[in-house]
Structure 1
């Protein structure tokens, strides 16, 4: 990109702006959402697994959790292992098929999940209050468009760049549903 007017950034300036925003905004957002989970020796991703387990009456299998989170079974297994170590979840063997194990919250896990749900809701509302509803929706729309452009360019989404999430369609479907409801 070349500079054509005083308002247009050169490619080098655009890259510098991108780098600065990453260091001051995107990285901060990750830290911002993760702060409540640190108290319980968890990542935000492990907390999201707890949320999915909590929503299920009878628990979730590793395969079901992987599908819900849009990640591989091994990625979910790593999060579940942390939750097992902290005694926040337990595995129950299906009486009809001993190969199937359901992940359920322990009493301690239920307390932690409720505490974290409240803390993350409060943090989100702080962010929303600071950002404003219209700007927050615009910000999320821009991120969805960036993800869609990455998919069109051959990536499964930005997520695939670091192999965290493979199912970006899950995010696009949520975005499309939300946009359809506006």
Structure 2
């Protein structure tokens, strides 16, 4: 954003700048990291679930994966369903508690996870070079961390909470001096 010392940036100008950045940068970051996963009919989010499963010796439960990813159990279940459909993971029932199912990689899932780990590492290094090096990337990541911390403090934990109408409508009522139901 360019401005002179005598110009003060208005909120409308900031919104326009944010909208432009979203359209030209942020949405393409998602596309950039997702390109390697498309070949395997996956999203980057599904790959991240696979990666967490791969790091576990005995598999992960939906609850454990949800905690690791910082999202709801239903959000993880959607990703796991895609992985099950593609035969990249399987569910094993806990012999001591049949209600508990552990998600583990299949042989095909292990191959795909290794291939995607290598491809995403290579893309990250390309991004780092494009970004201007490690120091610039660290500053960018620091700003994103601060935004994330503020979002969590405001009650937004994971994508699902942004769309929880009941929760957000209660927050909105409270902020306008009315009591929540």
* Structure 1 moving runs of 4+ over 4 Å: none
Partner of 2:45: 45
Equivalent residue runs for 1:9-158 within 5 Å: 9-131=9-131, 132-152=133-153, 154-156=154-156
| Normalised TM-score (structure 2) | 0.81
The change in CA–CA distance for 1:9 and 1:128 in structure 2 (over 3 A counts) is same
How many residues in Structure 1 have an aligned counterpart in Structure 2?
160
Q: 1: CA distance between counterparts of 2:151 and 2:115?
A: 36
Question: Secondary structure of the equivalent of 2:41?
Answer: coil
- 5+ residue gaps in structure 1? 164-182
Alpha-carbon distance in 2 for matches of 1:22, 1:32: 14
TM-score computed with the length of structure 1 as normaliser: 0.81
Q: Which runs of 5+ in 2 are unaligned?
A: 165-181
Q: Give the Cα–Cα distance (whole angstroms) in 2 for the partners of residues 14 and 82 of structure 1.
A: 38
- 2:167 matched to which residue of 1? none
**1:4 positional shift:** 8.5
| Larger Rg, first or second structure (1 or 2) | 2
Alpha carbons of 1:150 and 1:6: their partners in 2 closer, same or farther (altered >3 Å)? farther
CA shift for structure 1 position 23: 0.3
Over the aligned positions, Cα root-mean-square deviation in angstroms equals 1.9
Is the Cα–Cα contact under 8 Å of residues 150 and 157 in structure 1 kept in the other structure? yes
